[in-house]
Amino acid sequence: MKRLAILASGQGTNMEAILNAIERGQVAGQVVLVLSDRAEAPALQRARARGIKSLWIDPSLYPDRAAYDRALLQELNAAAVELVILAGFMRLLSPVLIEAFPHRIMNIHPSLLPAFPGKDGVKQALAHGVKVTGCTVHFVDEGLDSGPVILQEAVPVIQEDTVETLHQRIHAAEYRIYPRAVDLYCRGKIIVEGRRCRIID
């Protein structure tokens, strides 16, 4: 069983989807640590309710991103974490973490990357009038939502969609593909070849 950590800033609904999949035996890993940059993040409460070690690490105590990431890294290493999962973590990672976990940090983004990276991917998709958008699980690199793509799921855009209704359907897709991507990693089924991820049987 791979040892997993989740970094979250908000509700932790993607975290919950992963934890539920682990309980159903659909992910060959165990979440051993949840870290947040917000003391009141509901994700911390969700994790504590399941008996998972959960810590708030206060960014205001550190002079810059690198110093903060070193504090995160210390906790991740102490827990012998093998894969870091970002679940609504609202801070950009510095090279400190990315270099410590090459192709071992996952993120999910609410668009079909490389389209609409960064903030407000759903709003961007609606503004551009696309007929199909979706979500992407990718490895994190030093660019903005630019790491190798692991899995994607398309979500049709309905003419009457608002940001909220479209986001809701994208969330449903996220809850399907994020646990699947984590399981693929845990079972050694992802091979990174340059910019591409190859899924092996």
Q: List, as one string, the DSSP characters of 70-138.
A: HHHHHHHHHTT-SEEEESS--SPPPHHHHHHSTT-EEEEESS-TTSS-SS-HHHHHHHHT-SEEEEEEE
User: Mind listing the pLDDT tens digit for each residue in 8-65?
Assistant: 999 999 999 999 999 999 999 999 999 999 999 999 999 999 999 999 999 999 999 9
Quickly state the pLDDT bin for 121 (edges 50, 70, 90).
very high
Q: Which amino acids are annotated catalytic?
A: 109
| Pairwise CA distance, residues 141 & 87, whole Å | 16
- Residue at a domain's end among 59, 77, 101: 101
Whole-structure pTM value: 0.96
156 and 75 in a common domain: no
Q: What's the farthest any 2 CA atoms get from each other in the chain?
A: 49
Q: Among 101, 128, 149, where does a domain finish?
A: 101
Average pLDDT over every residue of 1-10: 97
Counted domains in the chain: 2
Nearest to 31 by CA among 43, 47, 14, 11: 47
Last residue of a domain, one of 101, 128, 159: 101
Task: Specify whether 5 is located in the same domain as 65.
Answer: yes
Residues 92 and 111 in one domain: no
Amino acid at 121: G
Give the pLDDT band (50/70/90) at residue 201: confident
- CATH label of the domain that carries residue 152: 3.40.50.170
